[in-house]
């Protein structure tokens, strides 16, 4: 049997991509084979198509860090043929052939049974972006964020995948005091429809006077952007508050100072969705499935393996809003 897969490869100094007809033997090893129904496009997937994107660990590679579908072969008795599953992170689409193919062969220790109440398509609307947003919210709740106080919560990169998912998940949990920090003023109505109560421009946060502390404007922050915006926000977090950081859309630098930590007791929490332990994932996915009514309001663009590459530019040049899913075996 042959099937379609989207490859990236290095040819000399150039990164190329092509759809190829391949067989199961061309996939990385694993104990389950999944007929892929949907994948998604995350920021990291965009980097996979960039020369020196820093994401692909070996070439040639089938990118796609997220996938879902039905098991067609299983050497693990816990997973049955026909069972619906999803997978995100680990080595998928990076060092292990990923979701941009009609079939995937994975380690069963990387997959999660599809939670009740979630369709396969829903699971990819959520994808790594939504899973990361859920982990960010959980980390802030562990740091003291509680809806009974209606804390003031800021989200950077608000129109992106993680940002929109964070707003929808917070709203679903009953948080009402949500500030969306976005450079896309035109997307204010969309962000308000998801649950943002205020819209702020990054320009109002980033100051070039290097003040170590500023007025305390936000109790908690979910940051997807890094750089000057994250540094600016650290100086504006209220006493006892916290900021989770998951992204580096504006770069990896974080030039900060010690005073917000030692005078206001704030916390800075790193989020990693890739190696998050599999045994803890189903609980997070079950919580996400309870929020689908809110998540379905996020603008979502559907592409195919043939049209996927055309969609990458919107993520590269930061004009993307919401989520992008890839429909694969849905004829």
Ligand X SMILES: NC(=O)c1ccc[n+]([C@@H]2O[C@H](COP(=O)([O-])OP(=O)(O)OC[C@H]3O[C@@H](n4cnc5c(N)ncnc54)[C@H](OP(=O)(O)O)[C@@H]3O)[C@@H](O)[C@H]2O)c1
Residue 301 β-bridge partners:
324
Footprint of ligand X (CB under 6 A): 42-44, 128-129, 132, 157-163, 182-184, 224-225, 229, 246-250, 271-274, 315, 318, 320
Considering beta carbons, is residue 247 or 260 the nearer one to ligand X?
247
Considering beta carbons, is residue 151 or 157 the nearer one to ligand X?
157
Considering beta carbons, is residue 74 or 128 the nearer one to ligand X?
128
Residue 95 is given by DSSP the state T
What is the closest distance, in whole angstroms, from the C-beta atom of residue 19 to ligand X in the complex?
24
Q: How many CA atoms lie within 13 A of 159 on its CB side?
A: 19
Max Cα distance, the chain (Å): 64
CA angle 267, 294, 161 (to 5 degrees): 60
What is the closest distance, in whole angstroms, from the C-beta atom of residue 163 to ligand X in the complex?
6
Q: Does 131 sit behind a cis peptide bond, omega within 30 degrees of 0 on the bond before it?
A: no
User: What is the rounded CA–CA span in Å between residue 9 and residue 148?
Assistant: 51
Ramachandran region of residue 226, left (φ > 0), alpha (ψ -120 to 50) or beta? left
Both structure tokens of 111: 């997959």
What is the closest distance, in whole angstroms, from the C-beta atom of residue 94 to ligand X in the complex?
12
What is the closest distance, in whole angstroms, from the C-beta atom of residue 42 to ligand X in the complex?
5
Contact 46, 100 (CB under 8 A): no
Considering beta carbons, is residue 40 or 102 the nearer one to ligand X?
40
What backbone phi and psi angles, to 5 degrees, belong to 202? -55, -30
Considering beta carbons, is residue 33 or 243 the nearer one to ligand X?
243
What is the closest distance, in whole angstroms, from the C-beta atom of residue 24 to ligand X in the complex?
29
Chain residue at closest Cβ approach to ligand X: 160
Considering beta carbons, is residue 30 or 160 the nearer one to ligand X?
160
What is the closest distance, in whole angstroms, from the C-beta atom of residue 249 to ligand X in the complex?
4
């Amino acid at each position: 049997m042959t099937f379609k897969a989207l490859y990236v490869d290095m040819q000399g100094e150039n990164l190329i991509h092509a759809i190829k007809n391949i067989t199961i033997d061309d996939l990385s090893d694993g104990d389950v084979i999944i007929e892929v129904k949907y994948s998604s496009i995350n920021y990291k997937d965009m980097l996979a198509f960039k020369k020196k994107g820093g994401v692909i660990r070996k070439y040639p590679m089938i990118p796609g860090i997220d996938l879902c579908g039905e098991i067609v072969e299983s050497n693990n008795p816990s997973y049955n043929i026909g069972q619906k599953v999803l997978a995100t992170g680990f080595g998928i689409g990076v060092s292990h052939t990923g979701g941009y193919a009609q079939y995937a062969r994975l380690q069963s220790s990387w997959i999660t049974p599809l939670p009740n109440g979630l369709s396969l398509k829903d699971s990819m609307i959520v994808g790594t972006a939504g899973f990361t947003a859920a982990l960010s919210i959980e980390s802030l709740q562990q740091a003291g964020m509680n809806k009974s106080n209606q804390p003031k919560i800021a989200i950077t990169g608000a129109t992106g995948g993680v940002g929109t998912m964070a707003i929808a998940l917070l709203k679903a949990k009953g948080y009402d005091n949500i500030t969306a920090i976005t450079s896309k003023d035109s997307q204010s109505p969309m962000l308000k429809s998801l649950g943002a109560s205020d819209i702020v421009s990054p320009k109002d946060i980033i100051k070039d006077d290097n003040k170590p502390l500023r007025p305390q404007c936000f109790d908690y922050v979910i940051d997807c952007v890094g750089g000057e915006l994250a540094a600016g926000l650290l100086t504006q977090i209220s006493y006892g508050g916290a900021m989770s950081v998951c992204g580096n859309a504006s770069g990896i630098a974080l030039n900060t100072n010690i005073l917000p930590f030692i005078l206001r007791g704030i916390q800075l929490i790193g989020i990693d969705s890739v190696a998050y332990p599999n045994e803890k994932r189903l609980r997070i996915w079950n919580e996400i499935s309870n929020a689908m009514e809110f998540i379905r309001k996020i603008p979502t663009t559907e592409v195919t393996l043939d049209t996927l590459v055309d969609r990458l530019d919107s993520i590269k040049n930061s004009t993307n809003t919401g989520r992008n899913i890839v429909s694969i075996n849905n004829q």
